[in-house]
Every structure is written in structure tokens, then in C-alpha cells.
Amino acid sequence: MKIASWNINGIKARLDNLVSWLEDSRPDIACLQEIKSVDEGFPREAIEAVGYHVETHGQKGFNGVAIVSKQVPDEVNRGLPLLSPGDEPDEQARFIEGVFSVRGGVLRVVSLYLPNGNPVDSEKYPYKLSWMQRLEKWASERLMLEEPLVLAGDYNVIPEPFDCHDPAAWEGDALFREETRSAFRRLENLGFTETIRNTTDAEKTYTFWDYQAGAWPKNNGIRIDHLLLSPEAANRLEAADIEKYVRGWEKPSDHVPVVAELAFQPA
């Protein structure tokens, strides 16, 4: 099965690109972020027309995540649970989990859009760290199920200095602060395998290029889109790739798809 993650940066602006990519790449499950659409306004018909089922968790104009898949999920869960029941509700649509039947069991796939966190001297950075803490707690509980789990998404985390073209330019940024990277490492250290760095140590390996200053043609990018695999999923990892070619299309997203091939068969 081919699992993909792509921050589409607005489904209505990028619908033609998404449909072309689905027809070309043919992922079994594609996790989308920043759909920027309410659920009822999502243009599902065009996606269903090329053979995909659609599940969304959206909000008006901001954020929003989706899972599009060749098979219908058995279960869908929307929203990342709070740390404790008394916490204030989180209205931001950043998390959706689908459970799919595969031969021998199930495969859990999450599409997540982790908060950016900038500016760091505002309430946005504590929210980012709190969200990461909630994700770590949720993931640790899911791992107890000992089932294949894929956490796919735009993490807004640059894990290491070699994951950006100019580390000095990102010093102090919420994506690269030590607190952010430490939180990401804690998540990984629960037992997850990060697909791209598990399959290549190539330099200048990026998933995002800003629209400004010629970042794309200069390859001045950063790597912030990741697929994390539980041990049961990592055992089935066959290949991983970054499908950079879509960044050269007309009206592209500033992100590109990250994909992994896992040795699962639909039930």
C-alpha cells in the first residue's frame, strides 16, 4: 500500500493539481492538510470521480485535514483529544484518524497538521508545544494497541540542521527551536520510525519551498512533512520518497507529497 501526506494549501485553489496527482501517483491512502474548507464545502465529487473515498475534518478558511482513500475506512475519529477532560476545547481542525481493514488486521492512518507556532512570543508557541504534548500522549496510548499506525502530516518541525538549506536563517523560529525539536524527538522515541531519514541520508532533501525569493529554483527548502511509523508499520516499510515534481506545476502548493510503500494488502 502506498501512503502519502501532502499539505495542499487550499483545496479549492489546488483541486486540479490534486486530481492530476491522484491519477498519476495512485496512492492507496492520501493524507491532506490545510484544506481550508468546511466539510460541506469540500469538493469531494471531483475526487470521488477518480476512484477515491473522502473523509474530512475542516473549518472555514483555515487549517483542516482530510483522508482520501481507495477503500472506505472502517472507523473515522476527528480531533486530537485534550490532555485532561477539564481543558478548554480546541476548535482548530488539525487531526483525523482513519482505520482500514488489511489482511491480517487493521491499519491506522492519521492526517495531522501541527501548529506553526510563530511568533514565538505570542500565545501561538505555547499552543504548538501543548498540541505536541497532546499528540505524544495520544500516540503512546495508541501504541499500546500494537497495531500498524502511520502518523502522516505537516509537522511544522525541522528535525535537524541538515533538514533546512540555511540553519542560521531559522534560528529562533518556532519550527526550529530546541523545544520544538525536543518534542518531536520525544514523539519519535516512543518507538516511531521516520520514513525519509530511514531510507536516505541525502543532503538537500526538502518538502517545502517558500513562494518568495526564488526558493524553489534555488532549492532553498526545508523538510517539515513527515511520516512516522509504529514498529508494526515500520516492519512493512519497503520504500519512501518525496514527489517533488508537483512543485513545478502551475499554481502549486508550497509543500510536496511525501510517500511510503508499506507491505500491506487491503482485506
pLDDT over threshold 90, residue 86:
no
b/e string for 169-202 if b means 16 or more Cβ within 10 A?
Answer: ebeebbbbbeebbebbeebbeebbbbbbbeeeee
| Helix/strand/coil percent split, the chain, to 5 | 30, 25, 45
pLDDT for position 267: 85
Query: What are the tens digits of pLDDT across the range 128-179?
Result: 999 999 999 999 999 999 999 999 999 999 999 999 999 999 999 999 999 9
Distance CA 262, CA 236 (A): 5
Nearest to residue 93, comparing CAs of 75, 69, 77, 109?
77
The ranges assigned to domains in the chain are 2-262
Which of the 8 DSSP states describes residue 134? H
Which 3 state secondary structure label does DSSP give 187? Answer: helix
- Helix ranges (DSSP H) in 60-204: 124-143, 178-188, 195-199
Query: What are the tens digits of pLDDT across the range 26-69?
Result: 999 999 999 999 999 999 999 999 999 999 999 999 999 999 99
Fold classification of 2-262 is Deoxyribonuclease I; Chain A (3.60.10)
Sequence-distant (≥ 6) Cβ neighbours of residue 217 within 8 angstroms? none
The three grid cell numbers given for residue 46, joined into one nine-digit string: 471531483
pLDDT over threshold 90, residue 85:
no
Distance CA 203, CA 186 (A): 24
pTM greater than the 0.95 cutoff: yes
Q: Provide the 10 A C-beta neighbour count for residue 141.
A: 10
The three grid cell numbers given for residue 31, joined into one nine-digit string: 493524507
pLDDT over threshold 90, residue 11:
yes
> Taking all residues of the chain, what is their mean pLDDT, rounded to a whole number?
97
DSSP string covering 112-125: EE-----STTSTHH
Sign of CA dihedral 68, 72, 78, 80: negative
105-113 and 149-154 beta bridge pairing: parallel
The three grid cell numbers given for residue 102, joined into one nine-digit string: 488489511
Nearest to residue 78, comparing CAs of 114, 110, 108?
110
The residues with which 68 forms a beta bridge, in sequence order, are: 30, 54
Amino acid at position 16, single letter: D
Q: Using CA atoms in the order 265, 194, 132, 115, what is the torsion angle rounded to 10 degrees?
A: -90
Q: 95 with 112: CB under 8 angstroms? A: yes
Place of cell 473549518: 59
φ/ψ of 87, rounded to 5, equals: -70, 155
| Catalytically annotated residues | 113, 154
